[in-house]
Structures are given as structure tokens and as C-alpha cells.
A and B are shown apart, each in its own frame.
Chain A
Amino acid sequence: DTAVSQTPKYLVTQMGNDKSIKCEQNLGHDTMYWYKQDSKKFLKIMFSYNNKELIINETVPNRFSPKSPDKAHLNLHINSLELGDSAVYFCASSGGTSGEQFFGPGTRLTVL
């Protein structure tokens, strides 16, 4: 069974559009995250969500917003897409005392 899943795997869209990426984890974890990985491979944390507490990286534009309908899901909404938003977006979760983060397979977003 897939521990952390994301859809879609690939997303190609035009500038100015609004899009969403969905993430689900079946590990029973309390904390979920969104990361952006650019072409230089740097993993930049965008959001973390723990027991309804949202921590936002202050450098993330407010066009990005996470939505958590329940503990197992953390979706990412992006408004007014820009060329610079092109990247791979990873969802992750962690829980318990181990500290290990489990990553989803990633969503490659291309903005044309």
C-alpha cells in the first residue's frame, strides 16, 4: 500500500491558471508538509500542518494555500500560476517519535 500518495504526477498548465495538487497519507501521522524542489534540487519547505496548526514559510507567496479537510489529507492550491512556480512539489508526513519524514512521489508542475 502506498504510504503517501499525490495526484497528479504531472501537471502542465498556462500562466495565470489556478490549480490544485492533492496529498493523502495512510500512516496515521499527525503532521504533513509541502516542499518545493527546484531545478537545483534544493528542498524548500513551504508549509507544515500539525493538529490544525499551520506553519507557513514566510517566503512563500500568498498565491499558495494549503487546505486540510482531515488529518490524512493536505492539499495545495495555487492561484495565478507564474513561470517561476515550475518545480517538483513533494508532500510528506511524519508522526510519533521517530522524526522520519515519508515523502510522496512528487508532482512535476510545468507552467507555460
Chain B
Amino acid sequence: GENVEQHPSTLSVQEGDSAVIKCTYSDSASNYFPWYKQELGKRPQLIIDIRSNVGEKKDQRIAVTLNKTAKHFSLHITETQPEDSAVYFCAARGGSYIPTFGRGTSLIVHP
């Protein structure tokens, strides 16, 4: 089955800095890679996703890159703000409709 590794487990940055979270996956058949943000006490919510026919996708301050050859994908947040503080989960989904989640990264943005 699919195995998704996510790093780092904790990331602490100053407001205005950039943050990068990296994930690797094992199943070359995976073709959909979503990222979820979970604020404290709330539900996970999709913030951006990318499919295997695309190498990069941007949405304002967030971007995701995908390297299919190396089987890794990354989330980039620029100009971080305190409200970006949350747990971020990457996931990978292939032939099965069930996604496999990474273990999460706790992002702390210091004002």
C-alpha cells in the first residue's frame, strides 16, 4: 500500500518568513496530492491540491510543487502570518479512492 512520509513534524518561523513542508510517497500510481490545514480544535480543510499532470500550482501565498520522478511534493507558504499557525497534512491518493495521510506538521508563526 501507499506510504506517505512528512517532514518536519514541527516548524517554527517568524512572521513574514517562508515555510516549506515536504512529503514523499511510495506508490508510483498515486495521482492526486491534497494538502489540508487543521486549526486548533477545528476540522481539517483542503487548502490546495495538485494532480500528477501538473508540476506546480499556486494560490496567493501558498504553492505546491510535485516531482513525480522523485516521488515527493512540497507545500510552500510565503509571507507567513500568525493565522497560518496550524497543523498541515499532506496526502496521496492513487488507484484506490482512499487517501493516505502524512503524520502532520505543526506550523507555528511567531508575531
Contacting residues, chain B, for A86 (C-beta < 8 A): none
Interface size class of B (residues with CB under 8 A): 20 to 34
Which residue of B is nearest A94, CB measured?
Answer: B97
Which residue of A is nearest B41, CB measured?
Answer: A106
Q: Is the CB of A99 within 8 A of B44?
A: no
* Best-surrounded residue of A31, A41, A55, A104 (most CB of chain B within 10 A): A41
Q: Is the interface of B mostly helix, strand, loop or mixed?
A: strand
Q: Is the CB of A99 within 8 A of B99?
A: yes
B73 contacts the other chain (CB 8 A): no
Partner of A99, one of B34, B43, B45, B101: B34
Partner of A103, one of B43, B49, B98, B99: B43
Interface size class of A (residues with CB under 8 A): 10 to 19
Contacting residues, chain A, for B32 (C-beta < 8 A): 99
Those of B14-57 within 8 Å (CB) of chain A: 32, 34, 36, 38, 42-46, 49
B103 contacts the other chain (CB 8 A): yes
Interface residues of B (CB under 8 A from A): 32, 34, 36, 38, 42-46, 49, 87, 89, 93, 97-99, 101, 103-104, 106
A–B complex contacts, Cβ < 8 Å, 6 sampled: A43-B44, A48-B97, A55-B98, A100-B46, A101-B36, A103-B44
Interface residues of A (CB under 8 A from B): 31, 33, 40-43, 45, 48, 50, 55, 90, 94, 99-101, 103-106
Top-5 shortest CB links A-B: A103-B43, A99-B32, A43-B101, A41-B104, A100-B46
